[in-house]
């Protein structure tokens, strides 16, 4: 039950208590009146009071039934609350997530929150074009300009910067929600420089969402980007209440007992995609024990594709095999400077636990060993 429902429930309980106290008070008062009792239509008053009591009880029962059948808010709501509390006090903030990344649903919710805070007319969601191979500078920056609500023609980074400066001359704070800002893209570097220059004014806020490329843009090349002044938050790991929420959201909570959730979280390693496969296994074969799930998980396309990409490079494959034999792969620094280790981490094959990088689960280790072991 969320806070709102708890408040409603409390109000109904208080109302019921008040009505009961009122009825008792009426009865005591009527009894003390003695001969004057016949002068007051006490039976009408009593019936009205009892009717109100019955109505309050029915409302309470209805609200209790509704709360039991209502899907609670996602557990990540608390994380977003803290994220925005920090963001509202900083010019720029980075939100990082491993593969499969931040869902479009979550991005939509983030955008809604930003609009509530800064106003829909002051909030803009920017994504760079997906296919950049045949896009000119003019097309790229013109595309971003339109997303920023700029109507004038934009041909290059300089014109975009000037137009944004003009837009920020008003009293309102402008907020940009940016995704797909990638390291290695020269135009993305230019956009980062533009935003860094503009952040000198107090009229701009920037929230960036991404994964490996965004992390590299922050830590590996911060000297030439806005990101050296931006704070960093990482999307939280799945917990037991997240698993229960996902099951409820899909209407499949009856497939698992709550006591099975720790085992479910362990075999999937908290990987969202692997966890979804576990849900499907139970739906298709309720009698398959959870401890047999890893044998199926290691054959799923996501894990196979994650490791086969390294087959063409024997040196990388051998290094991975060494790591796959280790329960603890390496310390978990804020930024992983080893290129291979960083790539494997952002593929969501590794997780930070107790200040160490470890493999997410047995299925990940077994998939990697079987695919790369013979090279």
- Partnered with residue 205 across adjacent β-strands are 175
Buried b or exposed e, range 220-256, using 16+ CB within 10 angstroms: eebeebbbeebebbebeebeeebbbbbbeeeeebebb
Considering the domain architecture, whether residues 149 and 185 belong to the same structural domain is answered as yes
Q: Can you list the residues of the chain whose pLDDT is less than 70?
A: 1-50, 53, 56, 60, 62-73, 130-133, 183-184, 221-226, 374-375
Considering the domain architecture, whether residues 310 and 292 belong to the same structural domain is answered as no
SS3 356: strand
CATH of the domain at 213: 3.40.50.300
Single out the residue in 297, 314, 335 at which a domain terminates.
Answer: 297
Considering the domain architecture, whether residues 205 and 87 belong to the same structural domain is answered as yes
Considering the domain architecture, whether residues 100 and 224 belong to the same structural domain is answered as yes
Each residue's pLDDT tens digit, 6-38:
444 455 555 556 666 666 666 566 556 555 545
Q: What is the pLDDT of residue 3?
A: 36
Considering the domain architecture, whether residues 192 and 97 belong to the same structural domain is answered as yes
Each residue's pLDDT tens digit, 197-229:
888 777 899 999 999 988 888 887 655 556 778
Considering the domain architecture, whether residues 190 and 60 belong to the same structural domain is answered as no
Considering the domain architecture, whether residues 13 and 122 belong to the same structural domain is answered as no
Considering the domain architecture, whether residues 11 and 53 belong to the same structural domain is answered as yes
Considering the domain architecture, whether residues 174 and 132 belong to the same structural domain is answered as yes
Considering the domain architecture, whether residues 120 and 161 belong to the same structural domain is answered as yes
* Whether the Cβ atoms of residue 307 and residue 375 lie closer than 8 Å to each other: no
Give the C-alpha separation, 151 to 157, whole Å. Answer: 15
Give the C-alpha separation, 149 to 140, whole Å. Answer: 15
Considering the domain architecture, whether residues 109 and 131 belong to the same structural domain is answered as yes
* Whether the Cβ atoms of residue 270 and residue 238 lie closer than 8 Å to each other: yes
Give the C-alpha separation, 127 to 108, whole Å. Answer: 13
What tokens appear for 273 in the block? 């995609």
Each residue's pLDDT tens digit, 227-258:
778 889 999 999 999 999 999 988 888 999 99
Give the C-alpha separation, 73 to 240, whole Å. Answer: 14
Single out the residue in 39, 68, 97 at which a domain terminates.
Answer: 68
pTM of the model: 0.77
Considering the domain architecture, whether residues 121 and 89 belong to the same structural domain is answered as yes
Single out the residue in 234, 249, 282 at which a domain terminates.
Answer: 234
Question: What is the count of structural domains for the chain?
Answer: 4
For residue 259, give its domain range.
Answer: 240-297
What is the 8-class DSSP label of residue 40? S
């Amino acid at each position: 039950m969320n806070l709102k429902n708890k408040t409603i429930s409390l109000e109904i309980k208080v109302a019921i208590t008040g009505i009961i106290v009122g009825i008792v008070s009426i009865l005591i008062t009527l009894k003390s009146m003695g001969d004057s009792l016949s002068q007051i239509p006490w039976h009408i008053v009593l019936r009205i009071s009892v009717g109100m009591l019955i109505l309050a009880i029915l409302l309470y029962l209805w609200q209790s039934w509704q709360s039991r059948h209502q899907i609670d808010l996602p557990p990540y709501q608390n994380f977003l609350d803290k994220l925005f509390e920090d963001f509202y006090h900083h010019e720029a903030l980075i939100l990082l997530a491993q593969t499969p990344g931040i869902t479009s649903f979550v991005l939509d919710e983030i955008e809604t929150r930003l609009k509530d805070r800064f106003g829909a007319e002051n909030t803009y969601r920017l994504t760079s074009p997906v296919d950049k191979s045949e896009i000119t500078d003019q097309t790229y920056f013109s595309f971003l300009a339109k997303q920023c609500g700029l109507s004038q023609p934009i041909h290059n980074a300089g014109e975009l910067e000037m137009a944004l400066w003009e837009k920020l001359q008003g009293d309102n704070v402008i907020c940009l929600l940016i995704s797909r800002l990638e390291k290695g893209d020269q135009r993305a570097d230019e956009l980062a420089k533009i935003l860094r220059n503009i952040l000198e004014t107090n009229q701009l806020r920037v929230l960036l969402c991404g994964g490996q490329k965004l992390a590299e843009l922050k830590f590996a090349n911060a000297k030439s980007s806005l990101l050296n002044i931006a704070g960093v938050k990482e999307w939280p790991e799945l917990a037991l209440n997240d698993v229960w929420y996902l099951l409820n959201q899909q209407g499949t909570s009856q497939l698992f007992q709550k006591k099975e959730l720790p085992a479910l979280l362990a075999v999937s390693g908290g990987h969202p995609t692997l966890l979804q496969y576990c849900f499907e296994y139970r739906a298709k074969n309720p009698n398959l024990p959870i401890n047999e799930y890893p044998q199926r998980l290691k054959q799923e396309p996501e894990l196979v594709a994650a490791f086969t990409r390294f087959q063409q490079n024997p040196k990388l494959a051998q290094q991975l095999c060494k790591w796959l034999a280790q329960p603890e792969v390496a310390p978990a620094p804020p930024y992983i400077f080893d290129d291979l280790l960083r790539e494997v981490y952002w593929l969501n094959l590794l997780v930070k636990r107790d200040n160490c990088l470890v493999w997410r689960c047995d299925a990940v280790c077994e998939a990697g060993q079987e695919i790369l072991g013979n090279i």
